[in-house]
Chain A
Amino acid sequence: MGTETLKKHSPRDKGIAEWFNEFQEVLSGALVPRNSTGLPQDLIGNLGQSSYRWLNAYLETLKVGSGTNFTALQVAAAIAASYDMTLPTGLPAQPLPMKMSNAGVLSTELLQAADIANGVLTISKRAARPFGQVVGVGGIAVSPSVGVDHPNPELASCTIETTGRPVRLILQPDGSSNLCYMNAAGADALSFYRRASTDDPSAAIVVMKPPALGEPNTNGPYTKRYIDTTVPAGVWTYSLRGGYYLYSRLIAYEL
């Protein structure tokens, strides 16, 4: 590498061979930037300009950075064939994964299901499912325990936000030591109801209605299960109406 200053010459100067040798040395080995007086200087010049670009740069390693901490860009040790790699067309609005196409085009975009290998995601990667009487998407809605006979229509209700997937409804014991119990006599029938959470309770529709029992009967609440396959995306309040039930909770969660 020639690190000497490229001297400016005047008509009085002599020594033609030395002048040539200066250029020979400067153009041999590492080529470094020089200031306007011909002195090598860090960051004093560019390789090309926006209107005078180099066509290609053939390098083994591109190092970008400063001081001693450079980021080096190299090809993998075993490159099968030359390929072109095209940078993204713009910056994303937020941090995003980078993808590479079979044409070598880099892009930034959200991962899709097709970007994930089949059968690899474990349950630990799933977000937690919050419990509560009112839950958002992915939560498990749980009604209060019903501890009195003949509740009002919305006593055992819970609200869940859904994405359009089927919703599973379960009436199950509340876990206390009390005897859970349900009883639907005469014309009564314990039915699952659904309404938009913003609607009046009177607007609820039946999503599952079993037959009325012919006589007072006691069944464990485990007999109440239903998959609501017709619920669109939205915020829904489910309730259990009709008959009597004790010490039970209504649960709703999206499959």
Chain B
Amino acid sequence: MGLDTLLARSNTQVITPDWFNQLRRALLLDLLPRNASGLITDLAGSLGSPTIRWLEALLQSMVVVDGNAITITGPNGASSPTTLRLPAAVPSATYPLFVDDAGLLTPRLAQDADFANQSITHSKMAAMVAANPASEGQLGAATESGAWATSNLTPTTMVSQSAQLVTKGRPVRVDLQLYPHATESPQLATLQGFNNFIDIQRNGVTIVSFQWQELDERRPCFEHLDEAPAGEHTYTYRIWDDKDNLTKNIYRHLQLVAVET
């Protein structure tokens, strides 16, 4: 490496061997950039230009220095030559980089095949909260039915106790369950009757009807797996009877919940 400043010469000067030795020294060992005056200067020049490029740079390692240095080396013990091809363009947002078997680096969203089988644990799942209306991935939980109520001969949809959620097309599990109790309480959820019915509806259309026939049989939990299409859904229920007042349903503290499976 020659650290000499490469001086310009004038016509009247005598050519000496040192002129050539200076050039020679500049080409030995480290090759450094020089400014227009021949002085070694940081960042004074480039290797090649945008239109006159070097074909290849063969290096043991490449060090990119901007303050601290980043060293790029080839893998140890590579069994064959490898070519990595940089993306054709920067992505529109931040994406993971994937390399294919042709060495092409591509920024894109991860797909199913990018994950090893059985590698995604439950801890990686996003939080699920109960809400109404519920967004995608959340559990739609209706308000509870409140104190004692009695069914009618005419089915009445309990609109105020609907569970709303947005789904991606996976089956929706709908449960009519007891309202939670933080402590033991006299507010016991109940559903009893004889020869009576419960309908569960999606967007005003009955998707399943339950009937029970024994007096005092309490089945305060009904469940149904609904093959609902993707979209925004409102689930409701209605309790009704088909006979007379003696066998009407009576119920209290029920809650409809719906969750995409």
CB distance from B192 to the nearest CB of A (A): 8
- Report the bound CA distance from A4 to B65 in whole Å: 32
**Set B32, B42, B88: member contacting A76, Cβ < 8 A:** B88
Distance between Cα atoms of A214 and B188 in the complex (Å): 14
Question: Known: A52-B42, A97-B96, A206-B184. Contact between A165 and B125, CB under 8 A?
Answer: yes
Would you call B65 and A50 a contact (CB within 8 A)?
A: yes
Tell me how many residue pairs across A and B have CB atoms closer than 8 Å: 347
Q: Count A-side interface residues using an 8 Å CB cutoff.
A: 117
The interface centre, meaning the residue of A8, A206, A210 with most chain B CB atoms within 10 A of its CB, is: A210
Q: Is the CB of A9 within 8 A of B139?
A: no
B85 to chain A, nearest CB (A): 5
A165, B33: Cβ atoms closer than 8 Å:
no
B112 on interface, CB distance cutoff 8 Å = yes
Is B201 an interface position by the 8 A CB rule? no
Interface string of A150-173 (1 = CB under 8 A from B): 000000000000011110000000
B88 to A45, Cβ gap below 8 A? no
Distance in Å from the Cβ of B40 to the closest Cβ of chain A? Answer: 6
Bound together, the chains give a CA A48 to CA B33 distance in angstroms of: 7
Cα of A19 to Cα of B45 in the assembled complex, Å: 26
How far is it, in angstroms, between the C-alpha of A71 and the C-alpha of B188 when the chains are bound?
72
Is the pair B16, A11 in contact by a Cβ cutoff of 8 Å? yes
**B60 in contact with A43 (CB, 8 Å):** yes
Q: Report whether A63 and B58 are in contact in the complex, using a CB–CB cutoff of 8 Å.
A: yes
- Which candidate, B68-76, B154-162, B235-243, is the interface stretch facing chain A? B68-76
Residues from chain B with a CB closer than 8 A to the CB of A57 are 46-48, 54, 57
- CB within 8 A of A118: which of B32, B42, B168? B168
Query: Contact check: which of B24, B121, B217 meets A38 at CB < 8 Å?
Result: B24
- Does B150 count as interface, using CB distance less than 8 angstroms? no
CA distance A126 to B124 in the complex (A): 10
Chain A 95-113: CB-based contact to B (< 8 A → 1; otherwise 0):
0011111111011000101
Known contacts A50-B69, A64-B73, A87-B70; A115/B95 CB under 8 A: yes
Q: Is the CB of A45 within 8 A of B86?
A: no
Q: How far is the CB of B19 from chain A (nearest CB, A)?
A: 9
Does A178 have its Cβ within 8 Å of any Cβ on chain B? no
Contact partners of A106 in chain B: CB under 8 A = 97
Nearest B-chain residue to A14, judged by Cβ: B17
A196 within 8 A of B: no
A59:B56 contact, CB within 8 angstroms: yes
What residue in chain B is nearest A42 (Cβ atoms)? B60
- Residues of chain A lying within 8 A (CB to CB) of residue B259: 166, 227, 255
B178 A11 Cβ-Cβ under 8 A = no
Are A9 and B21 interface neighbours, CB within 8 A? yes
23 A-B pairs whose Cβ atoms sit less than 8 Å apart in the complex: A6-B24, A8-B24, A47-B57, A48-B30, A52-B30, A54-B33, A54-B45, A55-B33, A55-B43, A59-B56, A62-B59, A63-B59, A65-B81, A70-B58, A71-B74, A73-B86, A100-B95, A121-B120, A124-B118, A139-B122, A223-B219, A227-B259, A230-B182
Sorted from nearest, which 8 A-B pairs have the closest CB atoms?
A: A138-B122, A65-B74, A58-B48, A9-B17, A45-B29, A56-B46, A76-B88, A229-B130
Chain A interface residues toward B at CB < 8 A: 6-11, 13, 16, 19, 23, 26-27, 31, 33-36, 38, 43-66, 68-81, 83, 85, 87, 97-104, 106-107, 111, 113, 115-122, 124-129, 137-139, 163-166, 189, 191, 205-215, 217, 219, 223-230, 254-255
